[in-house]
A and B are shown apart, each in its own frame.
Chain A
C-alpha cells in the first residue's frame, strides 16, 4: 500500500515534478529510554500544499514535528530543506532555516502585549537602541491586515480569549515568513468561525507557495483542507496519499491496521452485580453527561484520544476534581465523593496516568511508596505505624508482584518503569479495592512487565474486582476489556461489547 501511494503522489505531481520538495525527511529514527518513538520514517512536503499527518496517540507525529522544529535531535537519518541537508539544534536554528511551528501548548507571555509577543527577540529599535513601539505597532497591524485579524496589537495577551491567543500564535508563526509551517492541532481551541478564518489564512499561505504540515485528529478537517495525507502508526511511517484518493474509512484502516498478534490473558469470569453506576456525570468545560455501569469482575476499557476527557472522568469519580453535576452510585448507594480519601472509603483505588507526576515518591524507598495508601486507612496504633506488620505486607505484595529489587529499602527511582508500576499497583492492592481504576496501566514499560500486569488485571477481575481501564493502546483495550467505552471531546460516543469492538469501530467513535 505504502509504495503504490507514494507512486501516486509522484505521478500526480506531473508538471511540478521538476520542483523540489520544500522539506524532506529521510529514515529518521528517534529513541527514548524504553521506546522507539520513530522508526525510520520518511516525509515529503510539496510547496503550496497542506500535508496532513494522521495517526493514533503515540504514533510519532508530534515527535517527528519536534525534530523538524529543532526541539529534538534525531538519532539517525536526515532532514533536508529545499534539497539541502540541515541540522537544527534548537528551535531558533529551525526558525532561521525556515521552519516555524505553532505549538499545541500556548507559548505566549500573558503580561506583554500582542505586538511584543509576536516580535519578541526581533523588536524594531530606534537609533538609541530602545524598542521602537510605533514601528512595533505598525508591523503588527500590517501583519493583522494581511491575515484579516481584527485585534488591537496593544492588548495584553492575558486579556485575550484562548481562541484569540491561538490566533496570535498563528500570526506569530506566520510573521517569520517561513517556508514550512507546522501546525499541531491548531483548531483544538478554536470555534467554528475562527476555524473558517484559519482555513482562509492557510489558503493564502498555500497560494504563496508555503508548505504546511498539519497535525489533526479531525477527519472532516483533513478532507476539507489537506492535499496530501501521511499516516503514522506506532512510530512507523505507513504511507502517503493524496487526500482526494482517500475516504475516512480507508484512512482509519491505515491508522489502525495493525495485526493484533499479541496474546492477552483474558479469561471469561462470572460477571456480578453493578458496583459502580455513574449517571450524567459532568465537569464543567471538560466532560458532559457521562453515564455507565461497572460490574464486579468486569473490565470496562475506556478508549479515546488524549484530551477526550478519559482521565478527567476517572479523576472525578475518584474525587480528585469533584463533579459539577451527576450522580455516582457505589454498591447501589448514591455517594458524594469530594476527596480521594472518601473514594478510598468506598473501596476505590486509582492508578494515575503519569507515574512520575502523580504516582511515585521518587526519593523514597519501595516500602515507603507501597505502604502510603494503606497507612491512611489502617495499621496505625496511637499514631505509630505497625512497622513489622506493614513491612511484612509490603514484602509479600512485592514478592507476589515479582518486583525486581535488591530490597524493600531501595529507592524507587532506581527501579525500571515496569517495576515502579508494579509497586504502585501494589500500593493499591494492599488497600483491597473493590473498584480499581487504572489509567494507562502499562504505559512506558517493557513487554515482560506488561504481560505480567495484564495477567494480574485478569486475576483481579476473576476475584470480583471491578476494573475501569483507561488505555491509549488499542490492542490492550480490545484484548483485555469485556466492554469498551469510547470518548470523544468530553462525551461518551459509544459503549461497545467485546464482540462488536474492533480497531475500526473504536477509532471511528474516537475520532467522530
Chain B
C-alpha cells in the first residue's frame, strides 16, 4: 500500500486536466483573437453582442447534431461520411409530411395538415434506417466503414433528389417550423449533447463503445457482441442526422435536396478538433461541443470582420489539420512515456 501511494505522488499531478480544457483554451484564444481584431479593424466588440453569440451557435447547431453522432462512430474506430446526405433525405421526407393544405401541389395531398409529431418522427425514422443499413453493412459484410458510409452518402443524396425530382418542398406548417425558430435548434443540439454525454459516460452502451474502438479483439473476447453494438452506434448516428434534417427543414421553412452538402466533413472536423481520435477509443461529447462552437466562432468572426467566405474555408482546413497533428503529437508523446 505504501508503495502505491509513492507512485501516486510521483506521477499523478502531472496530467489530470481533461483534454477538453486544452480545447476550451483554444476556443477562448480564437474568440479573443477576433475580439482584438474587431476593435482594431471595426472599432466594435465581437463577443459582447448577445445576438451574435446566439447566431454563432445557431448556425452550427445542426452540424453539432451530426457531430454528436459521428463522434460516437469515430470512437468505435469507424467513420460516417453519410450524415450530410442523410440529413438532406430526412429533411425532404419530414417536409413532405409537414405541408399545409393551402398548397395545391403538395407531395402527399392526403397527408397535409398533419400533427407536428408526424413529420418529426418520419424524418428521424428515415435517418435511423439509413444508419441501421450503414451499421448492418459494416457488421455483417465486413466492408470498411469508409466504403459503407460513402455508398450511403451518394445513395441518400440521390434519394433526396429523386423524392421530388429535385423540387423543393415548401409551405410547411407553423407548428413544424417552430422547431427551427429562435433558440430552439440550439436547445435541441445541447439536449442531444447532454443525453449522449450521459450515455457515453454512464451506460453500458458507452462503455462498450469505447471498448470496441480501443481494441476490437479484446472487446469480442470480453463477451461483447461487437457487430450488434456497431449497428446500434451507426443507427444512433443516423438518427441524429435525421433529427438534424428535421431541424434544418424547419429552420429553412422547406425541404431541399441540396441541404447539408459537405456537412459530414464539418461534423468530422468538429469531432476531431474536439479531441476525438480517428484511431478509436478516445473522444468525448463535451470536446465535440466545443469543437462545434470553435467552427461557429470562426464563421461568425470572419463574417464580422468582413472577410471573404473562401478565406474562411482556407483557414478552416488549416485548423482541422492542425487539430489532427496535435492529436498525433499527443499520442506519440504517450507512446514514448
Contacts and interface: CB of A to CB of B under 8 A. Distances in A.
A380 B337 CA distance: 35
Interface in B1-15: 3-4, 7-8, 10-12
Nearest to A355: B218
A373 B283 CA distance: 22
Nearest 3 pairs of A and B residues by beta carbon: A406-B8, A361-B214, A376-B223
Contact of B7 (A339, A340, A350, A406): A406
A377 interface: yes
Interface stretch (A254-262, A362-370, A492-500): A362-370
B203 interface: yes
A100 to B, nearest CB: 33
Nearest to B12: A406
Contacts of B337: 414
A340 B223 contact: yes
Interface string B316-337: 0000000000000000001001
Chain A residues touching B, majority SS: mixed
Contact of A320 (B203, B220, B224): B220
Interface in A342-387: 344, 350, 352, 357-364, 368, 371-373, 375-377, 380, 383-385, 387
Contacts of B303: none
Nearest to B215: A361
B183 interface: no
A413 B205 contact: no
Contact of A375 (B207, B214, B218, B334): B207
B204 A363 contact: no
Contacts of A364: 210-211, 214, 281
A445 B281 CA distance: 26
Q: Which secondary structure dominates where chain B touches chain A?
A: helix
Contacts of B210: 361, 364, 368
B103 to A, nearest CB: 42
A377 B8 contact: no
B282 interface: yes
Contacts of A377: 223
A162 to B, nearest CB: 23
A383 B205 contact: yes
Contacts of B104: none
A352 B221 contact: yes
Contact of B207 (A339, A340, A341, A385): A385
Nearest to A343: B223
Contact of A405 (B4, B207, B211, B215): B4
30 contacts: A318-B221, A339-B225, A340-B221, A340-B223, A344-B223, A352-B217, A357-B215, A358-B215, A359-B218, A361-B210, A361-B214, A361-B215, A362-B215, A363-B214, A363-B282, A364-B214, A372-B208, A372-B219, A375-B204, A375-B208, A376-B204, A376-B208, A376-B223, A380-B204, A383-B205, A387-B202, A404-B3, A406-B8, A413-B334, A427-B222
> Which of A360, A377, A385 has the most chain B CB within a 10 Å cutoff?
A385
Interface in B182-203: 199, 202-203
Contacts of B4: 404-406
A362 B222 contact: no
Contacts of A376: 204, 208, 222-224
Given A372-B211, A380-B204, A361 B223 contact: no
A110 interface: no
Contacts of B218: 352, 358-361, 372
Contacts of B214: 361-364
Given A361-B214, A383-B204, A383-B205, A372 B224 contact: yes
Contacts of B223: 340-341, 344, 373, 376-377
A405 B7 contact: yes
A174 B282 CA distance: 47
Interface string A385-423: 101000000000000000011110000011000000000
Contacts of A340: 220-223
Contacts of A318: 221
B215 A360 contact: yes
Interface in B272-292: 277, 281-282
Interface in A309-331: 318, 320
Interface string A241-271: 0000000000000000000000000000000
Which of B217, B218, B220 has the most chain A CB atoms closer than 10 A to its own CB?
Answer: B218
B26 to A, nearest CB: 22
Nearest to B203: A383
Interface string B1-33: 001100110111000000000000000000000
Contacts of A363: 214, 277, 281-282
Contacts of A371: 207
A384 B74 CA distance: 22
A384 B201 CA distance: 9
Interface in B61-111: none
Given A318-B221, A385-B207, 18 more contacts: A339-B220, A352-B218, A352-B221, A357-B217, A358-B215, A358-B218, A361-B218, A364-B210, A368-B207, A372-B207, A372-B218, A372-B222, A373-B223, A380-B204, A383-B199, A384-B202, A406-B12, A414-B337
Contacts of A384: 202-204
A405 B9 CA distance: 11
Nearest to A412: B214
A362 B277 CA distance: 13
Contacts of B203: 380, 383-385
A385 B203 CA distance: 5
B209 to A, nearest CB: 11
Contacts of A359: 215, 218, 221
Contacts of B199: 383
Contacts of B224: 341, 372, 376
A63 to B, nearest CB: 23
A350 B221 contact: yes
Nearest to A367: B207
Contact of B281 (A339, A357, A361, A387): A361
Contacts of B204: 375-376, 380, 383-385
Find the residue from A320, A363, A371 having the highest chain B CB count within 10 A: A363
A150 to B, nearest CB: 37
B142 to A, nearest CB: 15
B253 to A, nearest CB: 37
Nearest to A342: B223
A252 B220 CA distance: 39
A360 B219 CA distance: 9
Interface in A98-143: none
Interface string A430-451: 0000000000000000000000
B235 to A, nearest CB: 15
B279 to A, nearest CB: 8
Contacts of A358: 215, 217-218, 221
Contacts of A368: 207, 210-211
Contacts of A383: 199, 203-205
Nearest to B282: A363
Nearest to A373: B222
